[in-house]
Amino acid sequence: MTRVVESVAGPVMAAAGVDASNTGPSGAVLLLPEDPDAEATRLRSALLAAAGLGVAVSLGVVLSDTAGRPWRAGLTDFALGCAGLAVLDDLRGGVDHDGRPLAVTARAVADEVAAAADLVKGKADGVPAALVRGLPAAWFADAGDGAGARSLVRTGAGDWFALGHVEALRAALGVEPGSADSTEVGLRSVAPEPLADRVGRVVALALHDVPDGSADVSVAADAAELVLAADDSYDLGRLVVRTEVAAASEDLAAEPISRTPTSVTLRLT
């Protein structure tokens, strides 16, 4: 099972960027460096020294990796680490071609350079590096603030996509992504699964943090119906809502089909 997780370097990627592609005949697995910007700085210094050039030379180094993007098919290279080159071209405060003000536009220069270089290197040609010429001199001058590719990773309030809909629903029920509780409840597979497996997670998630003995859930033999039971009407109503939210985390709808003073039957579709 492949998990989408935050790597030590910062980017959120499938399998945290751990990869066995293009790693040589040994079949070794490649890990991302913990500090890609520091690696880019070290490599830039080594290249300048080997060429007998000073540190003020307009030379940028971009360490790239390949990843997918939310809501977009296909893969592209992005800047994992960067040194000597501005990672952003901030156009906010300027105007567009028609004179309209630019309020949010900041080009991810380092990512665009990484993607352009990937078109030359190829994915399976064994070409480790590409030389990109003709970049504006200002991009090198603006690199003096020391902001590397790590600054391109959205964090905190700027991270609008920290949780997918599944993680957000599970977190609302007290099961945070990546926690021991999340593993205990179970994780969805990217492949099709039997209904019984999905319903099992619905029940485990709905009952998470529900006091023992206050409520119970019974599953029909075909896993298409759940009977929720509780002696207290408040506990019963709470369990119904929790089950509806838990079902939504599995892309299932929970429809009440019958009720008694102490139970509610839900059909899952």
Dump pLDDT digits (tens) for 207-261.
998 998 889 999 999 989 999 999 999 999 999 999 999 999 999 999 999 999 9
Q: How far apart are the C-alpha atoms of 59 and 47, rounded to whole Å?
A: 9
Q: Give me the domains of the chain, ranges plus CATH numbers.
A: 4-153 (3.30.1330.100), 165-268 (3.40.109)
What's the first-to-final CA gap in the chain, in angstroms?
25
What pLDDT is recorded for position 107? 93
What pLDDT is recorded for position 141? 77
- pTM here is 0.68
For residue 125, the tally of other CB atoms under 10 A from its CB is 9
Q: How far apart are the C-alpha atoms of 21 and 19, rounded to whole Å?
A: 6
State the amino acid at position 242 in one-letter form. Answer: R
Is residue 2 over pLDDT 90?
no
Is residue 23 over pLDDT 70?
yes
Q: Poorest-confidence range of 21-30, 119-128, 249-258?
A: 21-30
